Amino acid sequence: MSQALRDELAAAGTAAEAAGVNRLSVMDHYFQMEFNGGAEAPMLGAYTTLAYLAAHASTVQLDALVTGVTYRHPGLLAKIATTLDVLSGGRATLGIGAAWYDREHHGLGVPYPPLAERFERLEETLRTPPPVSSPHPESMICGGGEKKTLWLVARYADACNLFATSPDEVAHKLDVLRGHCDKADRDYDAVRRTLTYSGAAATEEDLDTFSRDIEPYGKLGIDTVSISPHLGTTSR
């Protein structure tokens, strides 16, 4: 099982690069998601996996989508992310959010503070990573919370990541982000806008439907789409 997993990861990195994919992302969770088998199913550590992928793909950007800020002390997370950035030759993105999966925290005895405290910790962490690559490791905040998450994007992040809920909803979130950028005296166009797509077309490898689903988001300025198929259901 472990050899097959290593081989599959290595093959995925090589194939992604050969196909012109510019980014490889992995989930960062203690437990596997319920729709992928639950806590009893395998779940590799995100940053060790990304370091392994870095050795099998020489050009793609690497990120955790997404690291919950409660999983590691801010200084430790900065050390891990910058180490990945150094060893990958400046290809690491720090994808981060305020965390949401309380079950895995309770299951392993990891503190799960109230939302306001998690956002305070998120802001602290965003201030922590020191420069490593030029000008620094890319930071990406994931989530669409309008009062705090998108405000933190405007203040600190190089990129945002939203869910492909609907073009109208994403357009609204981007309008909110633009407003926060205006208040922070930040160039809205300097923030890279990305999207996570987990629709059925991703699992079923239906390229025509996927293209139709994604096209309206491209018109909104989304420049990168992370595809999230369900585990064990794709044929390739």
pLDDT at residue number 126: 85
- Does residue 64 form part of some domain? yes
Query: Tens digit of pLDDT for each residue in 6-60?
Result: 998 999 899 989 998 889 999 999 998 887 888 888 889 999 999 999 999 999 9
SS3 113: coil
Range of 223's domain? 2-227
- Does residue 176 form part of some domain? yes
Separation of alpha carbons 10 and 6, rounded Å = 6
- Does residue 75 form part of some domain? yes
pLDDT at residue number 232: 55
Tally of domains in the chain:
1
Q: Tokens 């020489």: give the residue.
A: 58
- Does residue 98 form part of some domain? yes
Torsions phi, psi for 65 (to 5 deg): -125, 80
- Does residue 234 form part of some domain? no
Q: Looking at residue 33, what DSSP letter applies? A: -
Query: Tens digit of pLDDT for each residue in 67-88?
Result: 999 999 888 898 899 899 999 9
- Does residue 235 form part of some domain? no
Q: What is the pTM of this model?
A: 0.85
Categorise residue 184: left if φ over 0, alpha if ψ from -120 to 50, beta otherwise: alpha
Separation of alpha carbons 34 and 49, rounded Å = 21
CB atoms within 10 A of CB 161: 27
- Does residue 153 form part of some domain? yes
Cβ(157)–Cβ(95) below 8 Å: no
CATH number reported for the structural domain that contains residue 31 in this entry: 3.20.20.30
SS3 22: coil
Res 125 pLDDT > 90: no
pLDDT at residue number 145: 95
